[in-house]
Amino acid sequence: MAEKTLQAVLNRLYEADVPDKADIEYGLSLQDPAQMGELFAFADEIRRRHVGNGILLRGIIEFSNYCSNTCEYCGLNKTNTNLTRYKLTDKQILNCIEQIANSGIGTVVLQSGEQTDLDAYWLAGIIREIKTRFDIAITLSVGERPFDDYALWKEAGADRYLLKIETTNRQLYQKLHPQMSFDNRLKCSKDLGILGYQNGSGNIIGLPGQTISDIAGDILFFAGERFDMIGIGPFIPHPATALSDCPSGDVEMVLKTIAVTRIITKDAHLPATTAIGSLNGNDHRPAALTAGANVLMPNFTPQPWRQLYEIYPGKRCSTEAPGTCGPCIDIMADTIGRTIDLSRGDSLKKKRKECA
């Protein structure tokens, strides 16, 4: 029987081609603060070894909060009729991009709710315009689309796509996404890989009904699909949703998930998400950055629209002006002995494949 000391488990998680689910669950189940500290320190060392000391910045623009879906945990879901909806104009979007480029940041993330009537040709035009005017990588995050739309945007110049699986427990997924299909989500994720996007996934920790075994399954999925980026954040209940009375995700479980994911995936880009920076009114991003994360996503959505992109309440920096994150991020990096990396921060997995 495999040895169950923490160090032995951590070594196995790091070295195994296909990690043992029981070892992942062991790491996620740690409760003793000293042992959790050991897990985070191990993950931090793997982060240093495989992605270095730089914290990559991705400037995010939430260009529309319209959504056709009814995800039960999300304040943007279409049944929330109290929310004022917006879509930025082309000029507003390009102004935001200019601000990001002027800050020296090498990646923009264009994010919106999932709108079935989003004009794919309009977005392709925006992508082309950005690529003509700025030397910047583009990540899209606009949800499930037909293969041809993904192909159109890739051909227009998009580099990366973030489509979180949210949970790999099929029954739980179906319960939380009544109008969506787990199989279609998987198909979309595969399509993005086939088209050569730098491919991103991720999950939500603390969803009502989610178990440690489910989270371990998510991590095995991330590792098996070799995602380039993996966003891990807590569930935070929104008052205008069906899950308003459910408790938030546990910060330690989020940190343990980041740590185990880092140890297993090694060189994936893992953000210290805004959600973990907002959980219970506290900024846990420094803790995430010292438990395996290596990316921050400063928000460049202009006011007053930024406050309307309320997937969950209490979102950090939702009342601040764009471009004001710089000093805060510098202090955060300094405090934990890290540096800020403004480069494009492309997939290390793809780079390695190209060099092979």
Task: Determine the straight-line distance between the first and last CA of the chain, rounded to whole angstroms.
Answer: 37
* Cβ at position 309, least distance to ligand SF4 in Å: 9
With contacts defined by CB under 6 A, name the span among 10-18, 30-38, 43-51, 66-74 that binds ligand SF4: 66-74
Among 10, 36, 71, 325, binds ligand SF4 (CB under 6 A): 71
The DSSP element (H or E) to which 107 belongs, if any, is strand 107-112
How far is Cα 12 from Cα 181, in angstroms, rounded to an integer? 35
Closest distance of CB 179 from ligand SF4, Å: 10
In the region spanning residues 82 to 101, those forming contacts with ligand SF4, defined by CB under 6 A, are: none
Instruction: Compute CA 355 distance to the chain's CA centroid, rounded to the nearest angstrom.
Output: 27
One of 27, 59, 106, 143 touching ligand SF4 (CB under 6 A)? 143
The minimum distance between CB 327 and ligand SF4, in angstroms, equals 30
- Indicate which single residue of 28, 47, 60, 69 sits in contact with ligand SF4 (rule: CB under 6 A): 69
Closest to ligand SF4 by CB, 62 or 159: 62
Name the residue among 54, 49, 48, 47 with its Cα closest to residue 341.
54
Cα–Cα distance, 18 to 190 (Å, whole number): 20
Q: Which is nearer to ligand SF4, 79 or 319 (CB)?
A: 79
The reply to whether 114 sits near ligand SF4 by the rule CB under 6 A is yes
By beta-carbon proximity to ligand SF4, the closer residue of 57 and 311 is 311
Contact 127, 97 (CB under 8 A): no
> How far apart (Å, rounded) are the C-alpha atoms in residues 246 and 11?
36
User: Which of 28, 46, 61, 67: binder of ligand SF4 (CB under 6 A)?
Assistant: 67
* Interaction of residue 74 with ligand SF4, rule CB under 6 A: yes
Residue 205 class from Cβ within 10 Å (0-12 exposed, 13-18 middle, 19+ buried)? buried
DSSP letter assigned to residue 271: B
Core vs surface per residue 313-324: b (16+ CB within 10 A) or e: eebbbbeeebbe
d(CA 179, CA 341): 40
Footprint of ligand SF4 on 254-313 (CB under 6 A): 311
Minimum gap (Å) between residue 177 Cβ and ligand SF4: 7
CB of 249 to ligand SF4, least distance (A): 15
Minimum gap (Å) between residue 151 Cβ and ligand SF4: 21
Tokens representing 315? 């979102």
Site map for ligand SF4, 176-215, x if CB under 6 A? ----------------------------------------
Q: Which is nearer to ligand SF4, 70 or 99 (CB)?
A: 70
Should residue 167 be labelled a site residue for ligand SF4 when binding is judged by CB under 6 A?
no
| Residue 142 engages ligand SF4 in binding (rule: CB under 6 A) | no
Structure tokens at 331: 């202090």
Reported as type and span, the H/E element at residue 201 is strand 198-205
* 165 forms part of the interface with ligand SF4 (CB under 6 A): no
Contact residue for ligand SF4 among 40, 47, 60, 77 (CB under 6 A): 77
- Maximum Cα interatomic distance, the chain, rounded to a whole number of Å: 62
For ligand SF4, give the closer residue by CB, 57 or 110.
110
What is the rounded radius of gyration, in angstroms, for the C-alpha atoms of the chain? 19
Return the residue of 28, 39, 76, 136 that touches ligand SF4, per CB under 6 A: 76
Q: Tell me which amino acid residue 348 is.
A: L
Q: Are strands 198-205 and 160-162 parallel, antiparallel or unpaired?
A: parallel
Q: Which is nearer to ligand SF4, 67 or 215 (CB)?
A: 67
Smallest distance from ligand SF4 to CB 77, Å? 4
Q: Give, for 205, the enclosing helix (H) or strand (E).
A: strand 198-205
The footprint of ligand SF4 (CB under 6 A) covers 67, 69, 71, 74, 76-77, 113-114, 143, 311
